[in-house]
Structure formats: structure tokens, C-alpha cells
Structure 1
Amino acid sequence: MGIKHRLAAIDRKIQLKGNIAQHEQTDAWSNRDLIPLPPSRRTWGWFNYFGFWAISSLNIANWQTPSSFLTMGLSVRQAMLIIVVGRIIIALFSALIAWCGLEWHIGFTVQNRYSWGMRASYFPLLQRILLNFIWNAVQCWNGGRLIAVCITCIWPSFARIPNTFGPNMPTTTYEFVGFVIFWFLSTPFLWLRPEKFKLPFQIVCIWCGVGMLSWMIWGLAVAGGVGPLWNTGQQLPEGSKFSASWLIMAGINQTVGGLAAGITNGSDFSRYAKARRSYVIGTITSCVITGTLVCLVGLVTAASCQKIYGEVYWNPPDLLMVMMDSGNGSSKARAGVFFLSAGFAFTAMFENICGNTIAGGIDLAGLFPRYIDIRRGAIITFVAAWVVQPWQLINRATTFIAVLSSFSVFLAPIMGIMACDYYLLRKRKVRLSHLYRTHDSIYFFWHGVNWRAIPAWMCGVAPTLGGLIVTVRMDPDPPRALIQLYYMAFLIGFFISAVVFYVLNFAFPPKDAMDQYDEFDVYGTFTAKEARRVGVVPIEDERLGSEENVIVNGEETKL
């Protein structure tokens, strides 16, 4: 057998297989994880979405959120106002962007094809993939710190382990061992498909939720109340260029921007909903209520522990080590700290798997549908943590992490295009069959590119990019106007891109690309009720295996 035949045999072996009878064809645009999800695979109820948003709240980053606003000079009340308003905005925009997934059961990867064009859709996809790679690595490193605390609870001498790394390595053996163990413990979750996430959501919510409340109650009981931190008033730095109102606006932008990546690909998970109300109820109750409560609990706990230890500890791993005296405390103290740190670690683990690794798998599947599905893409994303080397990012380049948190400068314009196109231009009509082919697709536009999306995105990025640059460079005296625009980056980017995209489509309307949809349920996507709602004729079960051909929007389609 020649080399050419061997390579062809290997290619056939590694290509994904799908059940053609279930429309799971594998080609350049489609595989089992990219097709519109049929009812049998839509298993998420309201609690799944409650858990999905809970794991983005029950974590170290959200626990520490009030600290960043207090260090700006804002009061406790102003910090909590930012959190409440920010969480409401997150819930509203999440529902707005994810609605396409609820109605047509397609994800972010496919959703962008009708806005950007089949080939240009890779542009927003690559941005998401980059973020998934980096945030997965950073989350693994943060989770490793919690694992290191857990190990110290069991073997106190671990906290005193000698550092075997040289001076050029920006980490210690203590931290690196925690990272390695966290990475390996997370690996089995890569084989869990999104349809089966209910049990981990339940465990995470109960364990970490009970742990946080217990921690707060313990702190209040031991301290006999809260410390001075709870009564922090407005303390703007003398000579501050910005009033409290502008700082509140900056805080809201920071809160929303921190979850911009998750909002952008909301349809990747909303498409798994049993019903639209499941997504709405679960998202609003958890995103707003749980997210706010975790910040409040973190604030109260930090304030009470300030009274106990005489210092404010915002970082949970640091506070946990103090509580057990770096492993030298009593067995009861170590047991309590183990329960808390393990709960945080498990939450970080599943948040990372769901929000970064699985999402990265879906995005990578969009790049190489023939060879990559969610599972393979998730493995690639997870292995990339070693290439990214998060210890270099965390310990050396804090400004780089600030850039990641401010990525809404680039993502908000993408969301603006998505919302404008779906609601205003297409009036919530999508022709599913044309999202999975190049030949004669109305979404191919000009050589696979909808040129209107490019200037719309650039116009949304341009006003706030300067503010991002001077903030990252830490310029001592940046132009006030640039900073003010940057403080409103999410809203500015979203609405400017939406308006420009609408104007360009009005002035240069694409040919035969709007208001079209398949008359028949070509992929077996909808229940009878859903089909009536979107105006599609459902395929009856007895006709699925027949050889009858029908005309679907002028084209012959086999049912």
C-alpha cells in the first residue's frame, strides 16, 4: 500500500462519524455537535441553567468583586449597587443573545454564519478560541492554589515544601504541584457531554453554597459581628479626576465585561433547553440573585475576619491558610478549611470545564467539523493549558490579565451585530439548511464574507480601544475623554456596531438573505408546538424514512 493510500486510510479513520438518519452528517460545515439540536438532546431544565450561572458566581473571582470597587474609593453601598445593576444587565443581555439558540437550537459557532458569512464567521470564532485557551489555563492555575490548600490540610508539612525551581521560574513547587493535581483531577470531566451536566451542577451548588454560608456564619459568630470594613464610606482619592458616578459606571462596565465571553456564546448552551422558560427562569434567578448574594457573603466574611485577624483578606486561599495557621492549626480548623477549599476547588473545576473547556470544544468544532467534536475540542483546549503556561501570566504579567478582563471591547461589537441582525434585520427568521453548505447558500454573501459586518465591528471597537491601551500601559495622565469612553466600553461597542450594521444593510441590502426560512423541518429540529411557533411544517415520524421529495423554498429536499 502506497503512502497516499495509507494517509487516506488514516484520514478516514480519524474523521468523525455521524448517524445520517439523524441528520448528523460530517462535512466541512457540520457534525453531530453543530447541527440544530433535536428534542431528544435538549435535556436542560431550569435547574441546569440555575447551576450553570451559579458556578460562575460561586467562585473566588465573584467573592472578591466588592474589593475592587472599595479600592476605587467607593462605599460599600455603592459597591453593592454596582453588583446588582451589573448582574441585571448580564441577565438581560444573556437572554437577548441566547434567544436564537432557544428558537432555532443552533450555537454561537453556527449563529455567526448568517451575520458574518460562512467564511468570515471564523473571525469571531477565533477570538473566542483564544480566550478559551487563556482563561482555561488561568482557571486551572487558580484552582491549583485551592488544591494546594487542601493538601496542606491533610499534610501540613506540604506548606513548607522546598522550592526546587530556579530564580527564572516565576512560581514555586508548592503552587506548581497544586496546578498539576488540579489539571489531572479535572480531566475525567472532559468526557461528560453537556446533556449530562445536571448532577455536577447539583453537587457544586449545594457544596459550595453551604460552604460559603457556613464560612460567613462562623466569621460572624467568632468575631461577634462585622468589622470596620462593612462601614466603609466613600473615600475617593484626593485630586481624583472622576466623580463617584463615573467610577460606578466603570464598575458596572467591569462587572459586565468580566462575563462578556460567556454572554457572547450563550446560544451554545441555551440550545440545550427543554423550553424557553427554563432558560429565562434559571438565568434570572441564578445570575442576579446568586451572583449578588455571593458578593454580599464575601463582603460580610471579609469584614468579620478583619475583626478576628486584624487584616482584610479578600483572597480565599490566603484567608484559609491564615485560618489554619498554614497547616499548624488544630485538626478541627484543618477539617473546616478542607471542606471550604475543596468546595471552591470543585466549583472552579466545573466552572472551567463548562465555561471554558466545553465552550472551547464547541468553537474548535466549528473550525474543523470533520475531525473535531465537543469532546476532542475540549481535550485540545485543556491540553493547551501547558502551552499557555499560566504561571507566566499570573505571576509576571498582571496587565495581561487586565486585558483579558477588558476583552468586552472586542466582544461587545460582535454581540451588537448578532442582536441587530437577528431581531431587526431577519426578524428572528433563519434558514437552517443554508447554514451548513457552501454551494448556493444565501449566507455565503461575497466569497463567504458579509463585508457589512467588518466596518460595523471596527466602528464599535474604535472609540474604546484607546482607553484600553492607556489603561493597560498605566499612563500617569491619560486623556480624560478616552478613559470615559472606556468606562462605557460594553454599551458603546454594542450599540455603535448594531447601528452601523443596520445602516449598512439598509443602504446595501444583501440579495435574498433576509426573512427566509425552511418551510419544512429539514433536520427534525422542532416539536410540533415549536414548528407552529416559527412557521415551519413539522416532519411526521412516519415520513422520516421515506424517499418522498418535497420542494423547500424552491429546492428539492428529501424527507
Structure 2
Amino acid sequence: MASSIRRRVAGLKEKIRLHGDETQHEQTDHWSNRDLIPLPPHRRTWGWFHFYGFWTLSSLNITNWQTPNSFLTQGLSVGQSMAIIIIGRLLIVGFSTLIAWCGLQWHIGFTVQNRYTWGMRGSYIPLLQRILLNFIWNAVQCWNGGRLVAVCLTAIWPSYAKMNNFLPESMPTNGSEFVGFIVFWFVSTPFLWIRPEKFKIPFLVTSIYCGCGMLAMMIWALSTAKGVGPLLYSGASVPATSRWNDSWLMMASINQMIGGIAAGITNGSDFSRYARGWKDYVIGSITSGWITGVLVCFVGLVTTSASQKIYGEVIWNPPDLLLRMMENGEGTSAARAGVFFLAFGFALTNVFENICGNAVAGGIDLAGLWPHYINIRRGAIITFIAAWVVQPWQLVNRAVTFILVLSSFSVFLAPIIGMMATDFYVLRRRRIQLSHLYRIHNTSYWYCRGVNWRAIPAWLCGWAPTIGGLVVSVRGDIDPPRALQELYFMAFFIGFSISAVIFYVLNLLFPPGGLGDYETTDVYGTFTAREAEKLGVVPSSDSLENHDSHYATQEVVQEKT
């Protein structure tokens, strides 16, 4: 009986075990599978518009629309708020490119990238942090998307908003919001089957649809209000009793902007490795991550200012504004139709922002834990199912403090980013040994029992000075020590710098083997002939064949065109 059960279990494990094409170096073992190996040329399909669309997901969304609100409510002027946004978005693109360059040059993702910094086993430390954030933020995004779905359903059936609440009183939400969450979750799920190589059409649709929707909202608001409202011309109004002047508030706001997307900065190489070339990544990032991001904030500011003139109050949240637009239209079919298509555009962007930024990223990270059984698709499905375990309705509607902690998680991520940058650019001079990242014997990256002990104190020292400020902010202390708050206002820059310096010094005092070394042979067929020549690497026959096939296909397409 026992032997029969063992055979069945062994058979089941073999069925769900992943298998790759060994001729394409897609070996599946404890450290590798098809989604973790360095991407070969034929799988690098992202051009500049892919990255434009990728960054659009973090630009054309509700959170970015509402960004000026958090600065204006502190008493800063419109000019100061827009200056913060311009500087903050530029720094975000800069730090993202800094970390993503490893993926552009060596075509590996965050999961593998950390192995040479932390060690093969030590890389689980940043990996587990990312997995936790992916689970929680995916759930929160599903809930926010569900609220937009509720707006769409209300636009179709006005009685939907008045439906009886069938949930128990212990749940801090109502039936209409919960049904919206269910619909959003189920509608999003099929898109998990799209591989990152095929994201061009979703990026194209969301960029055009949501961009046009935002412009339409602004044009409607300006037309109805017959001009811009008073909010746009508001000056600085920092209370005289405030402990902070304009400079400190602007510093804290810039830190807040970068920290809010720190999780996306850390795994930039997960997506940059799909680039056809570094120019595609840089052009797409600057045009969308910076320019479009700034424009969306300005559009949100103008629309909110005009709507204040219409309704007599400031409404920053687009779903609330859309519902108010329906009320003002007295429930006419034209008003409801307009609101539906606008809410649908926001919801569509939310779908792909969540899938790309949380589900797919979570899939890649989970693949690093169990490469035998989890690939991007399976990991993304697990991340999505976890939304029901996380129960976002408890977090968003009740635990405001918990969301504040999540938003401040950059306190722990900034030191990781600083170590990654120092290790790649300064210590290794952008040279790594690819095959050493996928084995534990005869490798430079095993260190001491699989852990690079130098990374531990460098990481701890990076967040130790700023954790006190995080604690007093979360507790809401009335009169916390000023020094703790000042450190917290610069948490990202302090954590990045301290960990970078300490990690550098420790590696100088106790140098590990393999610093600056790289393989002169293209073991995985990763590089094109041009890339191999530039790196001083002998290309494999596989990469040459893929390179020739790729360009031959391009020539055929050009001839047909």
C-alpha cells in the first residue's frame, strides 16, 4: 500500500515537473528553468514601444493621477508640486535604468541577478521580500480594480449601487464592491496566459485607450467649467505651526515618490532582459516613464481643478468623480455611457498594470524558489490566487496603517538597490560569469554555504538609521524626535548610499573570488555576434544560428512590406 502511494506521488510529481528544450539550454534543475536562463536573441522581442507601454502602466493610472494631491494637502504650491513630480519621475527612470542594465547586457532577471551579490542561497532574502510584496500589492490592485468595475456596472444598471448588502457586518465592505472585486479577478485571470514576449498588443491597447480617456475627462471638465478652477493657481500654504519648511516637505515628497515604486525598480532587469537593444529600453523609459508620467499628473491636476469649479469641492479620486458625473447628468443614458467607457479605460490599465507589475513579476520570483515546478505562468497564477488569502477588503477599507507600511517598504528595498548597483558597476565592472549563476559546484557565487556574508551587515546598516522614522510615522506619534523624521524623509537615499558604501568596503577588506571575471565562451547561446564581439566573448553556434534566422526573417518581412 505504502509503495503504491509512493509510486502515485512520484508519478504526479513527474507530471507537474517542468521540462525544457535541452538543445536551447533550457535545463530544469534546482537553479534553472526556461524562464530563468539568460534570454537568447530570438526571445528578446521588446522594442521601444514595449517599454513605452510598460512604463505607461505606471503612468496612466489612478495613483499617478492623484499624485499632486498628496503634495498640495501638505501646503505646497502647484509649482512646487509639479517640480517634485518632474524631479521624482526623472530619478525613478534613472534608478530603474541603473538596475535594469544588467538585464540589458547579460539578459538575466532580478531572481538570478541577486545570486552574485547575495550568494546562491542568500539571494532568497531579497527574493522573499519581493514575493511578499507581490502577493499583497496584487490583492490591493485587484480590489482597486474591482471598485472601477463597480462604477462600470453602476453605469449600466444604476440600481446596482443600491443593491442589498448580502455580506456580514464583520466585513468592512459592501456587496457592490465585493462583486466588483470578483468580476475584476475573473476577467483578469485569462490574461495570465500571455507570455511577456507577447505583451505588445495589450500595451498598445491600454496606452491609447486610457490616454484618450484621461484627455477626454480633462476636455469635458474644462468645457463644462468654462475654464480652470482655483485649485490650479493655489500658492504655498504651509501652516505656521508646521515643524517643516518647504524644502523639507519637498525632500520628503521626492523620497515618497521614489519609495512608492522601489519594488518596481528592484526587478527592472526582469523586463529589460526582453529588450532588443539598450536604446529601446532608454527611449521607451524616458518618453513614458518620465514625460508621460509628468503629463498625467498635470492632466489630473487640471481636471480636478475644473471639477472643483463645477461641483464646489475637490474630487481627486477618478471613480468618485465618475460617479458624481453620473449624478450631475441625472442618470441620463449619455452620461452613463460616457462614465462607463472612461471607467473601463482605467480598469483596463489596472488589469495589465497588476498582471505585469505584480503577477508576472511574482511568477518570476516564485520560479526562483522552485524552478523544478514553477515557471512564470504558474507563479503568476499562484500570485493571483493568493489575493483571496490576503483579503484586500480588510487591508484597503480598514487597515490604513498596514498600507502605510507597505508604501514605506522602500526602507528595506533601497539598501538592496544600493548593493546591486555597487556590486555590478564598481566591484565587478559589469562583468559576471553566467554559468556560475546556475550551479553550486566550481562557482564563484557559492561563498560561505551559499551565502555572501558581506551582504548581510551592509543591508542591515542601510535600513537601521531610518527604521525609527518609519515606526513613529506608522504609530502616528504627535511629537516624535525630529532627527528620526529627517532621516525618514531621506530614507531611500540614505539606505541606498550607506549599504552601497559598506558593501564596497567589506569587499575591499575581504575580497571574494571572481570579482571582475567573466566567461570568454557563450555557454547558453545568449549573445548575438555583435554583442559577443563587444563583450569579448566567443559566440556559440546556437546564437549565430538564431541571429542569422532572426535577421533573415526581418529581411523577408521588409521585402513583403
Instruction: Return the TM-score normalized by structure 2.
Output: 0.96
Segments of structure 1 that go 5 or more residues without pairing to the other structure are: 546-559
Mapped pair 1:309 → 2:311: yes
Asked whether the 8 Å contact 2:266–2:413 carries over to 1, the reply is yes
5 Å-filtered alignment, 1:186-205, equals 186-205=188-207
Check whether the contact 2:206–2:349 (CA below 8 A) recurs between aligned residues: yes
1:10 to 1, 9, 12: 12
Deviation per residue, 1:292-319 (Å, 9 max, x gap): 0000000000000000011110011111
Q: Does 1:119 align with 2:121?
A: yes
Structure 1 counterpart of 2:468, from 463, 466, 474? 466
Partners of 1:50 and 1:542 in 2: CA distance = 28
Q: How does 1:79-478 map to 2 (within 5 A)?
A: 79-325=81-327, 328-478=330-480
Secondary structure, counterpart of 1:294 in structure 2: helix
Question: 1:538: which partner in 2?
Answer: 539
Q: How much is the aligned-residue C-alpha RMSD, in angstroms?
A: 1.3
Q: Is the 8 A contact 2:362 2:379 kept in 1?
A: yes
Give distance in 2, aligned partners of 1:315 and 1:358. Answer: 27
Distance 1:370 1:223, change over 3 A: same
SS of alignment partner, residue 25 of structure 1:
coil
Q: Which residue of 2 aligns with 1:556?
A: none
Percent identity, aligned pairs only, is 68
For the 8 Å contact 1:45–1:274, the answer to whether it is kept is yes
Q: Is the alpha carbon distance of 1:532 and 1:543 closer, same or farther for their aligned partners in structure 2, counting shifts above 3 Å?
A: closer
- Measure, in 2, the Cα distance between the counterparts of 1:544 and 1:170: 59
Q: 1:544: how far off?
A: 8.7
Q: Is the 8 A contact 2:454 2:507 kept in 1?
A: yes
- Matched to 1:277, the amino acid is K
**Cα distance between partner residues in 2 of 1:327 and 1:405:** 37
Contact 2:40/2:543 (8 A) holds in 1: no
Asked if 1:42 is matched to 2:44, the reply is yes
Query: How far off is 1:535 after superposition?
Result: 1.5
Amino acid at match of 1:333: A
CA distance in 2, matches of 1:329, 1:238: 45
Give, in whole Å, the separation in 1 of the partners of 2:540 and 2:167. Answer: 63
CA deviations on 1:64-105 (whole Å, 9 max, x unpaired) are 100000011101111101100000000100100000000000
**Matched residue of 1:529: which SS?**
helix
Structure 1 contact 365–372 (Cα < 8 Å) conserved: yes
Structure 1 residues 326 and 388: alpha-carbon distance in aligned structure 2, compared to 1, 3 A threshold: farther
1: CA distance, partners of 2:14 / 2:206: 40
Q: Is the 8 A contact 1:64 1:295 kept in 2?
A: yes
Spell out, residue by residue over 1:300-352, the C-alpha distance to the aligned partner (whole angstroms, 9 max, x if none).
00000000011110011111000001995211111111111000000001100
**Which string of whole-angstrom CA distances, capped at 9 and with x for unpartnered residues, describes residues 213-270 of structure 1?**
0110110011011111111111112311111000000100011111100010000000
Give the equivalent residue in structure 2 for 1:526: 527
CA offset digits 1:358-393 (Å, max 9, x no partner): 000000000000000000000000000000000000
Residue 152 of structure 2 aligns to a residue whose secondary structure is helix
The one-letter code matched in structure 2 to 1:416 is: G
| Equivalent pair of 2:39/2:273 in contact (CA under 8 Å) | yes
Mark the CA change 1:206 to 1:446 in structure 2 (over 3 Å): closer, same or farther. Answer: same
User: Could you say what secondary structure the match of 1:2 adopts?
Assistant: helix
What is the distance in 2 between the residues matched to 1:276 and 1:50? 13
Contact 2:529 2:544 in 1 (8 A): no
Separation in 1 of the partners of 2:425 and 2:200?
31
Q: Which residue of 2 aligns with 1:490?
A: 492
Secondary structure at the counterpart of residue 36 of structure 2? coil
**Cα gap change, 1:189/1:89 in structure 2, threshold over 3 Å: closer, same or farther?**
same
Query: What is the aligned residue count?
Result: 544
Which whole-Å CA distance do the structure 1 matches of 2:545 and 2:215 have between them?
53
Instruction: Provide the residue aligned with 2:553 in structure 1.
Output: none
Are 2:25 and 1:32 equivalent residues in the alignment? no
- C-alpha deviation, 1:513, in angstroms: 2.1
Q: Which amino acid aligns with 1:527?
A: T
Deviation per CA, 1:514-556: give whole Å up to 9, x if none.
11111110000000011112221101249999xxxxxxxxxxx
Q: 1:304 corresponds to which letter in structure 2?
A: A
Q: Which residue of 2 aligns with 1:513?
A: 514
User: Contact conserved, 1:147 with 1:181, CA < 8 A, in 2?
Assistant: yes
Matched-pair contact (CA < 8 Å) for 1:321–1:327? no
CA contact 2:45–2:276 (8 Å) conserved in 1: yes
Change (3 A) 1:327 1:125: farther
Q: Which runs of 5+ in 2 are unaligned?
A: 547-561
Q: Is the Cα–Cα contact under 8 Å of residues 461 and 493 in structure 1 kept in the other structure?
A: yes
CA distance in 2, matches of 1:468, 1:451: 26
Partner residue, 1:548: none
- Asked whether the 8 Å contact 2:272–2:281 carries over to 1, the reply is yes
Q: CA deviation at 1:166?
A: 2.2
Q: Structure 1: how far apart are the matches of 2:147 and 2:232?
A: 27
- TM-score normalised per structure 1: 0.96
